[in-house]
Amino acid sequence: MRVLFHVQHLLGIGHDRRAALIARGLSAAGMAVTVLRGGHPVPGIDYGPAEIVQLPPARAADETFKTLLDEHSRPIDEAWRARRRAAVLEAFERIRPDALLVESFPFGRRAFRFELLPLLGAARAAGAVTACSVRDILVAKNNPDRLEETVSTVERLFDRVLVHGDPDLIPFEATFPAAARIADRIRYTGYVAAPPSSNAESADGTGEVIVSVGGGAVGLPLLRAALGARALESLGGSLADAPWRLLAGPDVPEDAVRALAAEAPPGVVVERARPDFPALLRRCRLSISQAGYNTVLDLLQAGCRAVVVPFAAGSETEQATRARLLEGRGRLVVVEEAGLTPQTLADGVARALALPPPPAIPLRLDGAAATARLLTEAAHRLRA
């Protein structure tokens, strides 16, 4: 079975990381996977044996997502759109996939309708299965016209909406009010989580406070707040003397990483994000992070105490929704991004350490394998 997978990340690396896990799961199920990668390449993201077609890359200028920049950091224009659309359709004609998987659209990525609508139309005309790959929690939107447009697009162009979540934790309708209208197409895959690795050869992380910011595009204030919190006398106790490890993602500028390292006192390590991050969490005393999809899954699998500072700039609500949900279950402590200071972060750390050990939350974590199975089932039904 040939699968064409369209992926576009714009700011953080979470979408790209989740898509890579899905692509590896599809390949493991015996599918021939081609990824149309619309974002800038991210170091350390492994798509496995999938063929990667690197499209002219785009990124968001900032956290508002209002301006998209091309590979030369210029606002995209009609000529750029035409070039992207031609590359997408050329790949489709070459691959002639049995299934087309589109990440986020039409629940997000509306700015790429110029290439996605023609791509989906071509897939429909060729008889390919069409499916949307979407995370469990959407950014809240209060535009009825936008809701209607999304429902209409699903009804016209998609056979399946594959929700990478578990309705026992949060159903899709909690953040997409019209879910009942497309219920016949919605399938829950469970969460797309990285398989655990041992990394037994390293003791790094043992007893440490691990501070992470994912890709780091909007994470520098949290790294600075953590460095300040560690120096506060009010932090007190053994945690102030514990080793702290600050992980700067690939999108944190190099000069900012050097400045953090220069300010770090003895007992604080500043380094780039590491591929063994999940193993560090399993050994740590406390995690401090944002609350993106992938990071939260790493926290839940590790079972560690956690303080999260959800990204909430612009109109973003997804991380805050996820974080509050898990805080309500006693799994972590939330510190608001608005007004973040070393003191508010230190207060959050104190609250996390005062809580009982975090409870286990049973979740389905086989979302990549389930995505492969559900695509196969949809293809069989289409051919029947």
Give the CA diameter of the chain.
69
Residue 239: what pLDDT?
78
CA angle in degrees (0–180, nearest 5) for 338-340-345? 135
Question: 381 pLDDT exceeds 60?
Answer: yes
Model confidence at 200, in pLDDT bands (50, 70, 90)? low
Query: Does the pLDDT value for residue 198 go beyond 70?
Result: no
Q: Tell me, what's the pLDDT at 236?
A: 59
**Distance set, CA 278 to CA 127, 300, 303, 316 (Å):** 40, 10, 10, 25
Distance CA 375, CA 98 (A): 10
The whole-number pLDDT of residue 238 equals 63
First-residue to last-residue Cα distance in the chain: 16
272-300 per-position pLDDT tens digit: 999 899 999 999 999 999 999 999 999 99
Q: Calculate the average pLDDT of the chain.
A: 93
Give the residue from 182, 178, 190, 197 showing the smallest Cα distance to 282. 197
- pLDDT, position 382: 78
Residue 44, pLDDT score: 82
**pLDDT of 187 strictly over 90:** yes
Q: Is the pLDDT of residue 213 over 80?
A: yes
Stretch 74-80: mean pLDDT: 96
Residue that the structure tokens 């139309």 belong to = 121
**Nearest by Cα to 341 from 231, 225, 235:** 225
pLDDT of residue 384: 65
Helix ranges (DSSP H) in 194-275: 220-230, 254-263
Percent of the chain beyond pLDDT 90? Answer: 80
Among 135, 110, 291, which residue's Cα sits nearest to residue 213? Answer: 291
pLDDT of 64 > 90? The answer is no
Q: In order of start, what are the domains of the chain with their CATH numbers?
A: 2-193+365-383 (3.40.50.2000), 209-354 (3.40.50.2000)
pLDDT number for residue 377: 95
186-188 β-sheet, strand order: 51-54, 32-37, 2-7, 99-103, 129-135, 160-164, 186-188
Three-state SS for 212?
strand
- Whether residue 55 is predicted with pLDDT greater than 60 in this model: the reply is yes
If pLDDT is split at 50, 70 and 90, which confidence band does 143 have? confident
Side-chain half-sphere CA neighbours of 209 within 13 A = 27
More confident residue, 236 or 46: 46
pTM comes to: 0.92
Task: To the nearest 10°, report the CA torsion of 97, 99, 101, 106.
Answer: 110
Q: What is the mean pLDDT of residues 149-157?
A: 97
pLDDT of residue 224: 97
Confidence grade of residue 199 (pLDDT, cut at 50, 70, 90): low
Question: Which range (166-180, 245-259, 305-319) has the least confidence?
Answer: 305-319
Phi, psi angles (nearest 5°) of residue 99: -145, 140
Q: Which helix (H) or strand (E) holds 85?
A: helix 78-95
Please give the pLDDT value at position 36.
98
Q: What percent of the chain has a predicted confidence (pLDDT) above 70? A: 97
For β-strands 68-69 and 59-60, DSSP reports them as antiparallel
Q: Say if CB 194 and CB 278 are below 8 A apart.
A: yes
The interaxial angle of helices 113-126 and 78-95, nearest 10 deg, is 20
